[in-house]
Amino acid sequence: MITTPAAHDRFAHWPRLPARLLLAAVALILLAAALVPIQAGQQETKTVGFAEAIKGGEANKEALRPRDDDLALYDHVIARIGRGENYYAVAADEHRKANYPLRPGVAVRLPTLAYLSVWLGDTGRGAEVMVPGALGAALVLLVAVVLAWWKRLGEEPGGAEVQRIGTALMFMGASLGLNRYYFVLHELWAGMLIALSLALHRPGRKWLASLLVAGLALAIREHVLPYVLLMGALALWRRDWKEGAAWGALVAAFALYLAWHLGQVAQHVLPNDPMGPSWLELRGLSGWLSNVVLSSNMRFLPHFIAGPLVMLMVLGWASWKSPLGSTATLLYLGYGLAFMIAGRPDNFYWGAVIAPAMLVGLAFVPRAIQSLWRAS
């Protein structure tokens, strides 16, 4: 069990009544998380883990199964722009072939990952072949994430025990980044980059590397924007005007990129192209749990275990009285709320944007429960 100084435990000195109320609330939330449905529409959701990806056993089986519709579309787009075709003309054509909407314009992915895939040597054939460039990039990113978290947790209160357990949990979360079946999935790369950005950030001291990594993630998937806004807001809260301005400049640059992207998409939209269905679904707790569980290695766990684990991760982060704990708590609560009100069941992969580093919160759970119990 991890033991940390009480000064760094948010629940250590809570009054008795609030501690009892929070314990009761945690018990009810864990029960609800064990019971609500975890689902992803009609999509296949099985993945391979780190060991299978390296050995190739289950990964080969994964490679042979039919591609999910979204991934097949990305495969075709990458293959065609690799032959010199225009990204937006190709995207519009492939969307129509797959009966996918072109309106609103954000239904078409930003072109960043497609061009990076071509640069890395991806032919757009998806899981049929092992792409050396993409695999190499995934390996480098995995190593960078794990090392960055090892160093970051080494600076946190709690000592070597927190560092070892937290890094091991980070490795478990990040290992999904080696699943070659999903190399064309934007959320996979964006989530790994967010994890790296969060580990590189040192409030009030070092933030440029964190900002640059977040900028790359944002250029890949617009779903990274809440993370960037949070980092900017926290910098302003600390009265760090220079860092706050830098995050604000990143938001402004992305707004220009997104406006250009939407303008390019609009040039290829025809009057008879359908409007996509609303993303406003109000799925509640089921939406939050489904997105995180099904876009991570927790999908291998039974429902009644995986659901409560997500809630315990948030509790662990909330108990950790440090700038990292506060940032992560706001980050995961914010995305959790967003997943509860937006996203269809077949958009479960959005959860990959936050899933990798979220598991680290489990490292702080034993102390959190112990402190709450004593306070109550």
DSSP string, 25-81: HHHHHHHHHHHS----TT-------HHHHHH-HHHHHHHHSPPPHHHHHHHHHHHHH
Predicted local distance difference test score (pLDDT) of residue 65: 54
Answer yes or no: is pLDDT of 50 > 90.
no
213 against 46, higher pLDDT: 213
Q: How far apart are CA 73 and CA 278, in angstroms?
A: 21
Q: How far apart are CA 52 and CA 285, in angstroms?
A: 31
Query: If residue 230 lies in a helix (H) or strand (E), which one and from where to where?
Result: helix 225-237
Decide: 261 and 105 in contact? Cβ < 8 Å: yes
Helices assigned H by DSSP within the chain: 16-35, 50-55, 57-64, 69-82, 87-97, 112-119, 132-154, 159-174, 186-200, 208-220, 225-237, 241-266, 285-294, 303-319, 323-341, 355-358, 365-375
Q: Which residues contact 20 (CB under 8 A, 6 or more apart)?
A: 376
**Bridge partners of residue 280, in order along the sequence:** 342
- How would residue 156 be classed by pLDDT, with cut points 50, 70 and 90? confident
pLDDT (average), residues 3-22: 79
Answer yes or no: is pLDDT of 169 > 60.
yes
Closest residue by Cα to residue 87 from 113, 126, 106, 123: 113
Predicted local distance difference test score (pLDDT) of residue 98: 92
Q: How far apart are CA 192 and CA 188, in angstroms?
A: 6
Answer yes or no: is pLDDT of 10 > 90.
no
pLDDT (average), residues 51-63: 44
Closest residue by Cα to residue 200 from 216, 184, 188, 180: 216
pLDDT (average), residues 73-94: 95
pLDDT (average), residues 137-145: 96
Q: How far apart are CA 371 and CA 145, in angstroms?
A: 30
Backbone dihedral region of 201: left (phi > 0), alpha (psi from -120 to 50 degrees) or beta?
Answer: beta
113 against 40, higher pLDDT: 113
Predicted local distance difference test score (pLDDT) of residue 180: 85
Percent of the chain with pLDDT over 90: 75
Instruction: Please give the span between the terminal C-alpha atoms of the chain, in angstroms, as a whole number.
Output: 20
The values of phi and psi at residue 98, to 5°, are -90, 0
Decide: 20 and 376 in contact? Cβ < 8 Å: yes
Answer yes or no: is pLDDT of 18 > 70.
yes
Q: How far apart are CA 72 and CA 84, in angstroms?
A: 19
Up-side HSE of residue 238: CA atoms within 13 Å toward CB? 17
Predicted local distance difference test score (pLDDT) of residue 43: 46
Angle between the 323-341 and 186-200 helix axes, to the nearest 10 degrees? 160
Predicted local distance difference test score (pLDDT) of residue 181: 86
pLDDT (average), residues 246-262: 98
Q: What is the largest CA-CA distance in the chain?
A: 67
Answer yes or no: is pLDDT of 58 > 50.
no
Answer yes or no: is pLDDT of 9 > 90.
no
Predicted local distance difference test score (pLDDT) of residue 69: 85
Instruction: Show the CA angle centred on residue 292, arms to residues 291 and 293, nearest 5°.
Output: 100
Helix, strand or coil, per DSSP, at residue 46: coil
Residue 301 per-residue DSSP state: S
Q: How far apart are CA 315 and CA 303, in angstroms?
A: 19
Closest residue by Cα to residue 48 from 37, 63, 30, 35: 63
- How would residue 12 be classed by pLDDT, with cut points 50, 70 and 90? confident
Type of residue found at 143: V
Q: Per-residue pLDDT tens for 95-139?
A: 999 999 999 999 999 999 999 999 988 655 554 444 578 889 999
